Amino acid sequence: MLGQCHDGDETVIRINIQEGSQSCFFLQDGCLKGCISINAPRDIGMSRAMITKGQKMDLAKLADPAIPVRGCIA
């Protein structure tokens, strides 16, 4: 788990069946605020930088496991 995760946040789920991984991203006003991941260390690593920078994210891209988190900036 990384960052802030609140009940009222917008959430995006990313599931990669081939790798057996899943991430749940928490956003406020389109900005990434938190991430919970299972078997997805890259998602956590990239999310850390996006949370620190307060980056707005493209939600459709963020849900796609074929697109790295850093490629989901709006």
Task: Tell me the pLDDT tens digit for each residue of 6-40.
Answer: 888 999 999 999 999 999 999 999 999 999 999 99
- H/E stretch holding 20 reads none
- Alpha-carbon distance of 48 to 53, in angstroms, equals 9
pLDDT for 20: 95
Find the distance separating the first CA and the last CA of the chain, reported in whole Å.
Answer: 23
Identify the CATH number of the domain in which residue 49 sits: 3.30.390.30
Q: Which domain holds residue 28?
A: 2-72
One-letter identity of residue 65: P
Structural domains counted in the chain:
1
Answer whether 0.75 is exceeded by the pTM.
yes
